[in-house]
């Protein structure tokens, strides 16, 4: 399938967002295909180890989101 960017840009924002979602879903369906730098891999490994050593330290998304929204004000 070949689509020209000019054609996509003529679509409504809603339709373009749907296309972006479809593209993103296709990318994350195969996480091993997403390249990571060695620094990113080390950081992910560090975070996993940290979580495994103290899972209770994790915060629910709702709490993190609320804190971030308060910081924006």
State the pLDDT at residue 32: 83
State the pLDDT at residue 40: 96
What pTM was computed for the model? 0.49
Domain boundaries, the chain: 5-72
State the pLDDT at residue 60: 93
Q: What is the pLDDT of residues 28-51, one digit of tens each?
A: 888 888 889 999 999 999 999 999
Q: What is the pLDDT of residues 5-31, one digit of tens each?
A: 999 999 999 999 999 999 999 988 888
3-state secondary structure string across the chain: CCCCHHHHHCCCHHHHHHHHHHHHHHHHCCHHHCCCCHHHHHHHHHHHHHHHHCHHHCCCHHHHHHHHHHHHC
């Amino acid at each position: 399938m070949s689509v020209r960017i000019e054609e996509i840009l003529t679509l409504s924002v809603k339709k373009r967002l749907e296309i972006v979602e479809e593209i993103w879903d296709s990318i994350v369906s195969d996480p091993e295909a997403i390249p990571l730098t060695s620094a990113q891999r080390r950081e992910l490994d560090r975070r996993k180890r940290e979580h495994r050593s103290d899972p209770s330290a994790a915060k629910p998304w709702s709490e993190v989101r609320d804190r971030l929204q308060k910081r924006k004000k």
